[in-house]
């Protein structure tokens, strides 16, 4: 509708004026009701209140000018009322329009369940590792760590695996390339066990030592249901005057009961590790059948869990190069090493080691 559609007023009596203004107001109301956004608000403003082309300008121009003098006042009053009405309509539309849209965009349905943010949980390996460490912490052990990229000296030689010793073959690993010009003992490799941290610890402090060392280790082992080329161990070392094999047995028997329940029994089987003499494998009574014999323990009633032994004098001799107090004639000690994955698998009844590393929340969520 344009200004041309403003009809010429032919009569100026009150009735005629009321009718004419009522019709205009009605049109303004209808136009305002159709406003559906900020652009429509502006169009409405221009159409009705625009200074040059606006309809109210048109009304005042045509009607007021052509009105006889005695009708001007009545017309002016009605004109002002209409203008106030149109401004009010504009204000309402401007206020409500954009807010409506904004509200719609922001609208939330408070009856919907909220977005649940999952709480993180300790990974079962970390949890088991911490549990093992805390059993020994309660016995007065401190906690240490060492590098994952280790030298041949710490990983093998100082642990009494001399170059060419066949025991090295059981712990093949990745080695850092292009180190041929270095002496063998300085060459870097991914550590195959946490035992080298025994030597690092002894070099740093004189006896007595009681320490546990959790960490990640690497081996050239084919992955299967129970093996992974990367896994975790907790190492233990206790050195003092007069440490005996009985101390070793008592300590590990207590630790196994703390980890698997007080009904668990332990037994020590002769074994071999280059860095301990004598060496033993620790077996615990089968936690699945209580020792009666089942598939899990291959009907033996026992499960092999960790290695241990009395620290070999040759290891003390390496430590004594930096800390003379590790004189093998004056101190003795025991050491042990356990696989964290193996213990976690037993504690939680997990049959595939790969589950630990797959990152599947359906698995991990069970430990939350």
Where along the sequence are the contacts to ligand DAH (CB under 6 A)?
193, 195, 235, 273, 276, 307-309, 335-337
| Terminal alpha carbon distance of the chain | 69
259: left (phi over 0), alpha (psi -120 to 50) or beta: alpha
- Closest approach, Cβ 207 to ligand DAH, in A, equals 16
* Comparison of 20 and 237: residue with beta carbon closer to ligand DAH: 237
Torsion angles phi and psi, residue 152, rounded to 5? -55, -35
* Comparison of 157 and 235: residue with beta carbon closer to ligand DAH: 235
* Comparison of 58 and 337: residue with beta carbon closer to ligand DAH: 337
* Comparison of 87 and 221: residue with beta carbon closer to ligand DAH: 221
* Comparison of 273 and 326: residue with beta carbon closer to ligand DAH: 273
- Closest approach, Cβ 244 to ligand DAH, in A, equals 15
- Cα–Cα distance measured from residue 4 to residue 156, given in angstroms and rounded to the nearest whole number: 102
Q: Residue 124: how many CA atoms within 13 Å on its side-chain side? A: 26
Which position has the token pair 């049959």? 351
- Closest approach, Cβ 358 to ligand DAH, in A, equals 24
Nearest to 309 by CA among 361, 251, 368, 227: 251
* Comparison of 284 and 335: residue with beta carbon closer to ligand DAH: 335
Q: How many CB atoms lie within 10 A of CB 303?
A: 20
- Closest approach, Cβ 320 to ligand DAH, in A, equals 18
- Closest approach, Cβ 359 to ligand DAH, in A, equals 26
Torsion angles phi and psi, residue 126, rounded to 5? -60, -40
> Are the CB atoms for 327 and 318 separated by under 8 Å?
no
- Closest approach, Cβ 271 to ligand DAH, in A, equals 8
Nearest to 79 by CA among 62, 59, 65, 53: 59
Q: Can you read off the two tokens belonging to residue 205?
A: 């402090």
- Closest approach, Cβ 192 to ligand DAH, in A, equals 7
- Closest approach, Cβ 273 to ligand DAH, in A, equals 4
Under 8 Å CB-to-CB from 46, ≥6 apart: which residues? 53, 54
Q: Residue number with the shortest CB distance to ligand DAH?
A: 337
* Comparison of 189 and 335: residue with beta carbon closer to ligand DAH: 335
Q: DSSP per residue over 125-180, as a string?
A: HHHHHHHHHHHHHTTT-EE----SEEEHHHHTGGGT--TT-GGGGGG---B-SS-T
* Comparison of 90 and 135: residue with beta carbon closer to ligand DAH: 135
Torsion angles phi and psi, residue 305, rounded to 5? -125, -35
* Comparison of 71 and 197: residue with beta carbon closer to ligand DAH: 197
- Closest approach, Cβ 290 to ligand DAH, in A, equals 27
């Amino acid at each position: 509708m344009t200004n041309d559609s403003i009809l010429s007023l032919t009569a100026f009596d009150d009735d005629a004026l009321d009718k004419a203004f009522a019709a205009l107001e009605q049109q303004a109301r209808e136009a305002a009701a159709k406003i559906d956004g900020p652009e429509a608000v502006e169009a409405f403003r221009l159409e009705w209140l625009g200074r040059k082309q606006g309809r109210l300008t048109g009304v005042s121009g045509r009607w007021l000018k052509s009105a006889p003098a005695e009708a001007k006042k009545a017309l002016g009053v009605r004109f002002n009322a209409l203008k106030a009405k149109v401004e009010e309509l504009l204000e309402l539309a401007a206020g409500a329009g954009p807010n409506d849209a904004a509200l719609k965009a922001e609208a939330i349905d408070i009856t919907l369940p909220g977005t649940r943010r999952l709480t993180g949980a300790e990974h079962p390996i970390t949890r088991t590792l911490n549990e093992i460490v805390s059993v020994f912490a309660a016995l007065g052990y401190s906690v240490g760590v060492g590098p994952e990229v280790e030298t041949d000296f710490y990983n093998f030689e100082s642990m009494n695996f001399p170059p060419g010793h066949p025991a090295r073959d059981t712990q093949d690993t990745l080695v850092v390339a292009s180190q041929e010009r270095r002496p063998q003992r300085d060459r870097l490799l991914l550590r195959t066990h946490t035992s080298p941290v025994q030597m690092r610890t002894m070099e740093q402090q004189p006896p007595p030592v009681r320490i546990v060392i959790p960490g990640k280790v690497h081996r050239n082992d084919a992955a299967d249901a129970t093996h992974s080329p990367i896994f975790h161990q907790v190492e233990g070392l206790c050195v003092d005057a007069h440490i005996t094999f009985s101390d070793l047995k008592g300590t590990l028997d207590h630790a196994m009961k703390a980890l698997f329940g007080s009904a668990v029994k332990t037994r020590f089987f002769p074994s071999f590790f280059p860095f301990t003499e004598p060496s033993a494998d620790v077996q615990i009574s089968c936690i699945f059948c209580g020792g009666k014999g089942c598939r899990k323990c291959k009907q033996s009633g026992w499960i092999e869990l960790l290695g241990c032994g009395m620290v070999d004098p040759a290891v003390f001799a390496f430590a004594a190069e930096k800390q003379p107090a590790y004189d093998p004639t004056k101190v003795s000690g025991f050491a042990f090493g356990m696989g964290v994955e193996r213990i976690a698998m037993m504690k939680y009844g997990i049959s595939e080691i790969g589950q630990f590393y797959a990152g599947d929340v359906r698995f991990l969520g069970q430990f939350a």
